[in-house]
Structure 1
């Protein structure tokens, strides 16, 4: 099973102070150089306004992100959570047997085991009979209820709802992917925010299980971790997480049951939507109350190891993001922070490409701001964001290795500003193509078979 833990509070405070200080220094440097390099009539007002707004937003988000703390339950709330029935929904489709067994073993190694695990093989091409028999026996020994069903391929949502139907007594549903390797405290930690009756969903934090495979997986691990512990942490402080990670999340059972029909029957431009399931469930949860992240609920998941697989996965996510943006703007209340956060993201996406060209192709030749400054400042900001990567520790991943991955921050920024930005626009323009795009066959094999646990 995974062994991961958040760093202590002191490093978070130190990193927050360092990050804000560096941001302030970068901002003052930009304004100073701009003032000395501007045209005779003075620097362009739009340039200063742009940088002020950008640094203001980054500082605000940084403060919010570092304000996030793991949710805790009082004794009465914890007692209620201990009595609650927790069912785990595990849809399986063309998963490598090694990853699947690793996932299921991690569920049984929890300090707070689930009450039931419901596995649905959604018409895979893989024969899982050995894994099924092993898991049934392991659950019987652990006192955990289990069901394992095989159906024709109908999609992840149908598989999740079929699994949920086997747990009418469940108070909470945990949704995980079939390659998820949970930290031993993941289930217990994921449940604690539900002691607050306003909380409807909880997102866990996911790292790349195969981060050491190659440069792509290292960058993915950095990018994914930094996004969760900056953007989503800031959202969580205000109870407005917009998208949970499908790899590891929990919902009040009513969120799934009350919206089952809409969840299964979602269409966009007349076509059924089969992806973006995690963001759809998060939207349902947000319409009922608070959606938060539990930074101490940690897990590992297999990430694409080839460029082709990575781009197909990202394109699916981009198309799902475009569809979900439409639903959020339509259904989220205007009085809530989540609506305006989504509106701000839409505005940023719409203007990001134009601002990128303006800054790097127009500003250096008109306002006179040196090109080196326009390259150095984003690099500095990428490292400020990446500092959050140091707030999570994993077994066998010492600090020097974390620092080596953190050094890749400018590369991940460049990839995001160019390739992923282009893919985002292409995904938005082609979001009516609602096919899954991956997992038509086993795409990631576990290089070292897991030991039975």
Structure 2
């Protein structure tokens, strides 16, 4: 059995990050207020008003995410949570057997065990015989009810729906996880705590990249020519860079955007890697969940954000920043871009449903609207500063990139607010140093991919793992 991965918050560092953020915001506030006054007087910069509005939204977001704290419970509440019957559906489709076994090991190693773990092999081309045999025996030894079924390939929602229909008579809470998830030992215990509040309908965990330092160094066969060795080395270093930058970008997004929304009980997207839902919420909305269409096309992805909409219609959706899970992120550019394209197609489709179904009295509606205002402002600024004017003037001022880089560095400080058992601080600092790479990649590349995803949103297939395993478990 592999050693358990753990993570914890750095409280002292959080205070330091807050102090730095406040100091930075004070400086930026002065600049933008001065620019706005100058604009009103008729001789300010052309973008002072737009920048000021964007800055006000940024300040609001910083204030919100700085207020997020892990939910604590009383002994009485803990006893009530201990009585909840937790069912974990584990859909598996062409997952690497090593990752799937590590996932199930982490579930059975929880300080708060679930009552029932239900694996659905969704028509994989991978042989899981050994994993299944081990799992059934290990679950029995841990006192956890275990089920494993193989179905024809119908997608992740179909696999989850199969579990819900089989367990709806029993479950109080469904904890959704991905088949490559590796839960910290106290993940479920921490994840359930916000459910002590009766109006909380769903809880998101924090997802870290288990392969955040990329794959292990490749073994080059003896006799390989210099060109082959160089190619292997370059490919390996490129994978390291991609994994670190992706982890930084992905984790920062959770600790900035989702943390800010969580403070208002308005998380818009839970992560399928680790989230908890009240069982009646899932059961009551199962038909809609399994049969979602967009312009007549069946939607297979964006399952987590659909469940979050259901939660927001009934109450609050929050994040528990002390519940950690590790997942496998893409290790090559093709997989990374296909995954992001799928996410952005889902985000565009989901935006329609949020504006249509979220109640106007819920902050989630207005938080979603603010997000689109931020995107519109950034798109206008990006288009004019980096496309229209450089073409018209045939020149480009690289200092314009300082604003997104500085803001990105400030937000990425949140990445240092936790520690993980498999990584030293110096390695985490190395990843943090890549903030400009992550920011500029998102600024120039992922922005274009998002536009492409919106333009091709009617392609509602999953897009990854269709040809088999894409990320294999190895020693990094």
TM-score by length of 2: 0.89
2:174 & 2:295 partners in 1: Cα distance?
A: 30
**One of 304, 311, 319 as aligned partner of 1:285:** 311
- Which structure 2 residues correspond to residues 45-444 of structure 1 after superposition, within 5 A? 46-167=46-167, 168-213=169-214, 214-360=240-386, 371=397, 373-440=399-466, 441-444=468-471
**One of 429, 445, 449 as aligned partner of 2:472:** 445
Q: Which runs of 5+ in 1 are unaligned?
A: none
Aligned length: 444
C-alpha RMSD over aligned residues: 2.3
Alpha-carbon contact 1:26-1:380 (below 8 Å) kept: no
SS of 2:339 mapped into structure 1 = helix
Tell me: CA distance 1:401–1:29, structure 2 relative to 1, closer, same or farther (3 Å). farther
What residue in structure 1 maps to residue 225 of structure 2? none
State the 1:363 CA deviation: 7.5
Alpha-carbon contact 1:2-1:299 (below 8 Å) kept: no
State the 1:346 CA deviation: 2.3
1:60 & 1:4 partners in 2: Cα distance?
A: 32
| 2:50 equivalent to 1:24 | no
1:238 & 1:31 partners in 2: Cα distance?
A: 27
Alpha-carbon contact 1:61-1:231 (below 8 Å) kept: yes
2:390 & 2:12 partners in 1: Cα distance?
A: 41
SS of 2:318 mapped into structure 1 = strand
2:180 & 2:100 partners in 1: Cα distance?
A: 6
Alpha-carbon contact 1:272-1:434 (below 8 Å) kept: yes
Alpha-carbon contact 1:86-1:115 (below 8 Å) kept: yes
1:237 & 1:278 partners in 2: Cα distance?
A: 19
Deviation track 1:275-326 (CA, whole Å, cap 9, x = no partner) reads: 1000000111111110000000001000000000000001111100011000
Deviation track 1:150-170 (CA, whole Å, cap 9, x = no partner) reads: 001011101001112232211
The answer to which of 273-282 and 348-357 deviates more is 348-357
Deviation track 1:409-429 (CA, whole Å, cap 9, x = no partner) reads: 111111111111111111111
SS of 1:90 mapped into structure 2 = strand
2:251 & 2:175 partners in 1: Cα distance?
A: 21
State the 1:397 CA deviation: 1.2
